[in-house]
Amino acid sequence: MLIVSQYIFYDKHKILSVYHWRDRAIHIDWYGVLRLGTMESLINFKRNEMRKTEPLIEKTVEQARECRLCEDLPLGPKPILQFESAAKILIAGQAPGQVTHKKGRPFDDASGVRLRQWLGVDESTFYDPAQFAILPMGFCYPGKGKSGDLPPRPICAKTWQHKLLGQLKHLELVVVIGQYALEWHLGVKKSQALTPIVKNWREYQASNTKSNQSVDNGIEKNVSYFPLPHPSPRNNIWLKKNPWFEEALLPELKRKVIQVLS
């Protein structure tokens, strides 16, 4: 009988997993490469490996925050995102609103208060980038249209989503908000009604969700997805018409968040 024990180490919020058997240690990296050696040598190898990749990730995030692809935006470019590669939960939204543009922090408004209530977390947890990544489909405020804000510009997602989402190696849960995020992450067409998608939320909980997707959203592992309506007060009527959302979906969402963050 083979007995293997797992050792988990924390280094700047990053998890280092090494499996130990007798006097040997085994480490399987992100790419499936098997490495053998002493426990000390493999721990040092893993730490050095992560130190090499960290500057590259930080550089990509910095470039995203300094992006000026859309100089013609009504209020000018101001990318707003929250990101660290250690994040376990992703909030995939649409684009910052005018209030968020002014404040410079995502979901720092009435919608954010409701979203944190839905998730069952406080502000300090929500704004901890080692726990939550927040990547909207458009990083900048797109401006006003005839009926609300304009849609996020496609060039933003095409430029940044794959570069950043591929770095979330510890991701376990994606909260999908809005039709543009639903299309990117779950392949839901914008012409499809929101209510049936959210009502069938259980379909996106299987561990093999990623392998069933017909779209490449940039996430390189199996995760759970929760499609949600926007938490804006404008959706109060929708919430009243769909009591199952608060009665059935939200308790499961909170349970999943606790499980992932524990």
Note the pLDDT tens digit of each residue in 110-148.
Answer: 999 999 999 999 999 999 999 999 999 999 999 998 888
pTM for this structure?
0.78
Q: What stretches of the chain show up as alpha helix (H) in DSSP? A: 39-65, 98-103, 110-119, 123-126, 154-165, 179-186, 194-199, 209-212, 236-241, 244, 250-261
Note the pLDDT tens digit of each residue in 170-200.
Answer: 999 999 999 999 999 999 988 899 999 999 9
Contact (Cβ atoms closer than 8 angstroms) between residue 13 and residue 130: yes
Sign of CA dihedral 70, 71, 74, 79: positive
CATH 3.60.15.10 fits 73-261, yes or no: no
State the angle between helix axes of 154-165 and 39-65 in degrees (0 to 180), rounded to the nearest 10: 170
Within 10 angstroms of residue 261's Cβ, the number of other Cβ atoms is 17
